[in-house]
Amino acid sequence: MDKRNLQLDDNGQLRHFLTIEGLKRQLLVDILDAAESFTSVTEQTVKKVPLLRGKTIVNLFFESSTRTRTTFELAAKRLSADVLNINVNASATTKGETLLDTQRNLEAMHCDMFVVRHAVSGAAHFIARHAAPHVSVINAGDGRHSHPTQAMLDMFTIRRHKGEFHKLRVAIVGDILHSRVARSQIHALSTLGVEEIRVIGPRTLIPAEAHTLGVHVHHDLRGGLRDVDVIITLRLQHERMGGAFLPSEHEYFQLYGLTEAGLETAKPDAIIMHPGPINRGVEIDSAVADGPRSVILDQVAHGTAVRMAIMAKAMQRLPTPPARELH
């Protein structure tokens, strides 16, 4: 079965959110618009809406991630769902139970959604293919393949600061090869119609097939950042590197670390983003990470509202947003 078609039900509505690839632009815009409405929930005295009341959502994390799991938990609770956080390291999977056994047991407990994070690419798709008809699956990051909810909160942050996408030049800097976030960002930016996407990094950290994704490849930081509107820098994925991809972190910072001097060729109002966690002095200087052009904390703040929108959409509980003109 086509992984992209797997995400939609028989009526063409979102059931699972596994990858950005193959989704229509209008669906992404609907999610961004709904997230806009959900941002007001955090300003209320009671930070809840009843859209998923009575539903049970399971955070099934086979790979640690405090920030992602926390925002998913907050998102579910603000939608009034019940939440289970499964400590996989202490669960039955360490005693020989298969992933499918774990899934079937949770479904037998009448759970309605699985938020899955796994070190193996395709794990969320596997669970979605075997899911009961009433169950939705959200991919919270799988191996080197995809991290679609992170990409969507990044798109939300960009739209908040820059408006429409069609005139933007966006640069993604760093370890493109091992980054599931970068792949999802490229698909999202392309679908939303940005003018140009650039990837910048050493040859060892740029995938050989990068040109097939519709991006422009640069190996020089200053040249790659020339006249860009948005800069997204990535963490070095040491845990996914099987060999020596870099001489040293110090040399990497000298060539590709974001510093005030290195940003001189970008537009003066360019925003700086980072999906986190930040390695200061490796991919970004503290003066830039904490500087006036940084929107890194905005990305964190927007994570809950965007994940609320995705969960509500997958469960067919998304409120109808006001119409927006598409360009």
Whether the CB-CB separation of 34 and 319 falls below 8 Å is answered with yes
* 168 Cβ neighbours under 8 A, 6+ residues apart: 158, 162, 194, 195, 196, 229, 230
| Secondary-structure percent of the chain, ordered helix, strand, coil, rounded to 5 | 40, 15, 45
Sheet holding 271-273, edge to edge: 216-218, 196-200, 169-173, 230-233, 271-273
pLDDT score, position 249 = 85
Q: What tokens appear for 54 in the block?
A: 């009575």
pLDDT score, position 247 = 65
Q: What is the DSSP letter of 191?
A: H
* 5-145+301-314 and 148-299: identical CATH topology: yes
Classify the C-alpha dihedral 125-245-221-254 as positive or negative. positive
Does the domain at 5-145+301-314 match CATH 3.40.50.740? Answer given as no
* Prediction pTM value: 0.91
How many angstroms separate the CA atoms of 95 and 198, rounded? 45
Q: What tokens appear for 81 in the block?
A: 């769902």
Domains of the chain by residue range: 5-145+301-314, 148-299
Each residue's pLDDT, cut to its tens digit, for the chain (327 residues) gives 455 579 999 888 999 999 999 999 999 999 999 999 999 887 788 889 999 999 999 999 988 788 899 999 999 999 999 999 987 765 545 545 688 888 999 999 999 999 999 989 999 999 999 999 999 999 999 988 999 999 999 999 999 999 999 999 999 999 999 899 999 999 999 999 999 999 999 999 999 989 899 999 999 999 999 999 999 999 886 544 444 466 688 889 999 999 999 999 999 999 999 998 899 999 999 999 999 999 999 999 999 999 999 999 999 865 555 545 444
* 290 Cβ neighbours under 8 A, 6+ residues apart: none
How many angstroms separate the CA atoms of 307 and 80, rounded? 14
How many angstroms separate the CA atoms of 306 and 309, rounded? 5
Q: What tokens appear for 88 in the block?
A: 């996989």
| Strand ranges (E), the chain | 56-61, 82-87, 113-118, 136-142, 169-173, 196-200, 216-218, 230-233, 271-273
Q: Which fold has domain 148-299?
A: Rossmann fold (3.40.50)
What are φ and ψ of residue 295, in 5° steps? Answer: -120, 25
pLDDT score, position 245 = 61
CA distances from 190 to 23, 169, 186, 187, 207 (A): 11, 11, 6, 5, 18
Radius of gyration of the chain (CA): 20
